Amino acid sequence: MKNYLSISDIDNLSEWVKEAQKLKANPKADKKLGADKTICLLFFNNSLRTRLSTQKAAMNLGMEVMVMNFGNEGWALEYGDGTIMNQNTSEHIKEAAQVVSQFCDIVAIRAFASLTDKEQDEAEVVLNGFKKYTSIPIVNMESSVGHPLQALADAITMEEQKTKVKPKVVLSWAPHPKALPHAVANSFVEMMQLQEADFVITHPEGYELNEAISKNTTIEYDQKKALENADFVYVKNWSSYTDYGNVSNQDSNWMMTMEKLGSAKFMHCLPVRRNVVVEDAVLDSEQSLVIEQANNRTYAAQIVLKKILESLS
């Protein structure tokens, strides 16, 4: 495998999940695979889980790790071809990507959506800029439109927790004071489309995700109806896609509560705002899987890095 940029880079999901579970049982089993190899983690945005779990995964595989908070510490990059760079950008992606390639064997990148320019966000200018000019494999640590490492960790978590072959899974929008990207929801939807599940998305009208991603997934605008008989409830906020980046609804009635959750398992990628997105009682209950999801981020990253390292050797 050359790159892990989206869910479509997974060639056999059930096999990957099984392999990740094996790694979880014996994390250092492939300690020699990454010897003398270096991964560079470039963060254009904040992180807790992605940063530590990807670093941990690389260390479990015996790799050296370099981390750079590019957003705060790197030169402002220019992505346009032929730009006269007499404004705010200091370095072109052409040089930056080639330079990074000289220092490491794999580069992992986090670069969120701006939520101000839909066309630019959908073009994935940072990820695709590196893809175009780097000579080494790239891992997506959350881009404008996807968070495939999170979705793979979610698939591992659901496989561990499910009690029936075809569970009912509900992706429920929740209120949030800020405009958040669509990446986590997008990748979760794509992941669910690969799974055997009765999958429903619920959100207020106007919060439809990109139809090119949601495709023919059932959308139920009545949250209560959507949650009936759910086995897993995945809660996430996202801003409007059609009215790009806008927050037109902060209705606290959409917050997840214990009463609404019933007997379902609760999932969220974290970080989460308590008593805005979900009430304390849910997060503090036995039904919450959020800590296990975060734990599985290591094994999702580790299976991805393992496959890339195998393709390098």
In the chain, the amino acid numbered 145 is V
Closer to ligand CP by CB, 48 or 76: give it. 48
Is 274 within any annotated ligand binding site?
no
Give Cα 9 distance to the centre of its chain.
14
Closer to ligand CP by CB, 51 or 162: give it. 51
Q: Any residues with CB less than 8 A from the CB of 87 and at least 6 apart, and which?
A: none
Closer to ligand CP by CB, 16 or 43: give it. 43
Is 261 within any annotated ligand binding site?
no
Is 148 within any annotated ligand binding site?
yes
Q: How many CA atoms lie within 13 A of 119 on its CB side?
A: 0
* Helical axes 290-312 vs 13-25, angle rounded to 10°: 100
Q: Does 85 bind ligand CP (CB under 6 A)?
A: no
Is 152 within any annotated ligand binding site?
no
For residue 59 the two structure tokens come to 């260390």
How many angstroms separate the CA atoms of 103 and 148, rounded? 25
Q: Which residue is nearest to ligand CP (CB)?
A: 50
Is 269 within any annotated ligand binding site?
yes
Residues touching ligand CP, count (CB under 6 A): 9
Asked if residue 180 lies in contact with residue 214, where contact means CB atoms within 8 angstroms, the answer is no
Asked if residue 239 lies in contact with residue 179, where contact means CB atoms within 8 angstroms, the answer is yes
Closer to ligand CP by CB, 121 or 142: give it. 142
What residues between 251 and 310 interact with ligand CP by CB under 6 A?
A: 269-271
For residue 94 the two structure tokens come to 């052409």
Is 50 within any annotated ligand binding site?
yes
Query: Which residue in the block uniquely carries the two structure tokens 């009912």?
Result: 168
Residue 75 Cα distances to 71, 101, 120, 286, angstroms? 8, 17, 20, 45
- How many Å from the N-terminal Cα to the C-terminal Cα in the chain? 11
Closer to ligand CP by CB, 270 or 281: give it. 270
Tell me the closest approach of the beta carbon of residue 86 to ligand CP, in angstroms. Answer: 35
Is 176 within any annotated ligand binding site?
yes
What residues between 138 and 157 interact with ligand CP by CB under 6 A?
A: 142, 150
What residues between 15 and 54 interact with ligand CP by CB under 6 A?
A: 47-50
Give Cα 171 distance to the centre of its chain.
15
List interacting residues with ligand CP (CB under 6 A). Answer: 47-50, 142, 150, 269-271
Annotated binding site for carbamoyl phosphate: 47-50, 75, 110, 147-150, 269-270, 297
Annotated binding site: 47-50, 75, 110, 142, 147-150, 176, 236, 269-270, 273, 297
Annotated binding site for N(2)-succinyl-L-ornithine: 142, 176, 236, 273
